[in-house]
Protein backbone atom coordinates (compact mmCIF):
# COMPACT_ATOMS: atom_id res chain seq x y z
CA UNK A 1 0.00 0.00 0.00
CA UNK A 2 2.81 2.46 0.78
CA UNK A 3 4.38 1.66 -2.61
CA UNK A 4 1.19 2.81 -4.31
CA UNK A 5 1.08 5.94 -2.15
CA UNK A 6 4.72 6.77 -3.03
CA UNK A 7 4.02 6.25 -6.73
CA UNK A 8 0.97 8.51 -6.63
CA UNK A 9 2.82 11.22 -4.73
CA UNK A 10 5.68 11.22 -7.23
CA UNK A 11 3.33 11.39 -10.18
CA UNK A 12 1.12 14.02 -8.52
CA UNK A 13 3.84 16.69 -8.62
CA UNK A 14 4.24 16.84 -4.82
CA UNK A 15 1.67 19.62 -4.45
CA UNK A 16 -0.02 18.11 -1.41
CA UNK A 17 3.30 17.47 0.32
CA UNK A 18 4.46 21.01 -0.40
CA UNK A 19 1.25 22.57 0.91
CA UNK A 20 1.22 20.25 3.91
CA UNK A 21 4.77 21.21 4.84
CA UNK A 22 4.04 24.92 4.39
CA UNK A 23 0.95 24.95 6.64
CA UNK A 24 2.08 22.20 9.03
CA UNK A 25 -0.56 19.60 8.13
CA UNK A 26 -0.14 16.02 6.94
CA UNK A 27 -0.12 15.68 3.16
CA UNK A 28 -2.84 13.04 3.36
CA UNK A 29 -5.12 15.59 5.02
CA UNK A 30 -4.41 18.14 2.26
CA UNK A 31 -5.18 15.46 -0.33
CA UNK A 32 -8.52 14.75 1.32
CA UNK A 33 -9.37 18.46 1.36
CA UNK A 34 -8.64 18.70 -2.37
CA UNK A 35 -10.86 15.69 -3.03
CA UNK A 36 -13.73 17.00 -0.87
CA UNK A 37 -13.51 20.48 -2.37
CA UNK A 38 -13.42 19.05 -5.88
CA UNK A 39 -16.67 17.20 -5.29
CA UNK A 40 -18.30 20.13 -3.51
CA UNK A 41 -17.36 22.71 -6.14
CA UNK A 42 -17.54 20.54 -9.26
CA UNK A 43 -13.81 20.36 -9.86
CA UNK A 44 -12.58 23.94 -9.58
CA UNK A 45 -9.81 23.06 -7.04
CA UNK A 46 -8.27 20.93 -9.77
CA UNK A 47 -7.39 24.15 -11.60
CA UNK A 48 -5.75 25.49 -8.43
CA UNK A 49 -3.88 22.20 -8.01
CA UNK A 50 -2.58 22.34 -11.59
CA UNK A 51 -1.53 25.97 -11.18
CA UNK A 52 0.42 25.12 -8.01
CA UNK A 53 2.01 22.12 -9.76
CA UNK A 54 3.08 24.37 -12.63
CA UNK A 55 4.43 26.97 -10.21
CA UNK A 56 6.41 24.36 -8.25
CA UNK A 57 7.84 22.97 -11.49
CA UNK A 58 8.95 26.44 -12.62
CA UNK A 59 10.37 27.14 -9.17
CA UNK A 60 12.42 23.92 -9.28
CA UNK A 61 13.62 24.73 -12.80
CA UNK A 62 14.79 28.19 -11.73
CA UNK A 63 16.53 26.75 -8.67
CA UNK A 64 18.35 24.20 -10.85
CA UNK A 65 19.40 26.88 -13.33
CA UNK A 66 20.81 29.06 -10.54
CA UNK A 67 22.85 26.16 -9.17
CA UNK A 68 24.27 25.48 -12.66
CA UNK A 69 25.31 29.11 -13.14
CA UNK A 70 26.76 29.54 -9.65
CA UNK A 71 28.85 26.35 -9.73
Supply the pTM of this predicted model: 0.68
Q: 16 lies in which domain range? A: 2-70
Number of domains in the chain: 1
Per-residue pLDDT, 35: 87
Alpha-carbon gap, residue 24 to 3, rounded angstroms:
24
Minimum mean pLDDT range among 12-16, 21-25, 54-58, 67-71: 67-71
* C-alpha to C-alpha distances, 30 to 16, 49, 54, 63, 67, nearest whole angstrom: 6, 11, 18, 25, 31
What pLDDT digit, counting tens, does each position of 50-62 carry?
A: 898 899 888 888 8
What pLDDT digit, counting tens, does each position of 31-46 carry?
A: 899 889 988 998 888 8
Amino acid sequence: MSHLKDLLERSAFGVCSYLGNKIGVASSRVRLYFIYLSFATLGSPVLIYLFIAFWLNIKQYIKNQRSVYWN
